[in-house]
A and B are shown apart, each in its own frame.
Chain A
């Protein structure tokens, strides 16, 4: 079974530039999550989708971050414009459904460096 695919693996940009990350979840997984992991900290949830609808985006900085999952499969996370403090690993995860016993499967992440 293929895992969660993310691209690119690494991205270096200058502050005030824009960047986009792509995620392809495990086939058949209805729920998709984006997390931000700053160096030395645990991942922090940014947004959760159920199919193509948003379940939770309370921690997404909406002035600069946006995410979509138009067809309920792939998802993109965009930052515009980037700030220095956005340097982090952006992790995508998926799960079969929204049940407490459901396992979340994570991709390897995209490491973003903002200079």
Chain B
């Protein structure tokens, strides 16, 4: 599986935007970029995913570099509830076995 690299931790203030980076220099043309997050004592939850174009949903935005070797998850206005570990994951779009390969993720700390 293609690998992703994320900072171990990031800190931000409440009500400010947060940009979480992810590098995936060995991404293949069929790999989708997925983001999940895990709040304390909970299972991971889906945030957003994309292939080539930038994506927006009610939780966040995903900005994908033109060469697809990096992406950024954007939380437009962080709240205390957004404090979690954020995982950037590549999923092969060709089907078959598609279990998620989690790294260590980025621990996002939100200061009030």
Q: List 10 A-B contacts (CB under 8 A).
A: A40-B104, A44-B102, A55-B96, A55-B97, A56-B97, A100-B30, A103-B46, A103-B49, A106-B45, A108-B43
* Set B36, B93, B103, B105: member contacting A100, Cβ < 8 A: B93
Task: List 13 additional A-B contacts (Cβ < 8 Å) besides A45-B99, A104-B46.
Answer: A4-B43, A35-B100, A44-B102, A55-B97, A56-B97, A99-B98, A100-B32, A100-B91, A100-B95, A101-B49, A101-B93, A105-B46, A109-B43
Q: Which residues in chain B, 76-110, are within 8 Å of chain A measured between CB atoms?
A: 85, 87, 91-105
* Set B41, B43, B49, B104: member contacting A106, Cβ < 8 A: B43
Check if B97 sits within 8 Å of A48, measured CB to CB: yes
Interface size class of B (residues with CB under 8 A): 20 to 34
Which of B43, B45, B94 is the most central at the interface, judged by chain A CB atoms within 10 Å of its CB? Answer: B43
CA distance A42 to B99 in the complex (A): 13
Chain A residue numbers with a CB within 8 Å of B42 are: 106, 108-109
Chain B residue numbers with a CB within 8 Å of A31 are: 98
Closest beta carbon of chain B to A71's beta carbon, Å: 22
Chain B residue numbers with a CB within 8 Å of A72 are: none
Closest beta carbon of chain A to B27's beta carbon, Å: 13
Check if B105 sits within 8 Å of A48, measured CB to CB: no
* Set A42, A48, A91: member contacting B98, Cβ < 8 A: A48
Check if B102 sits within 8 Å of A43, measured CB to CB: yes
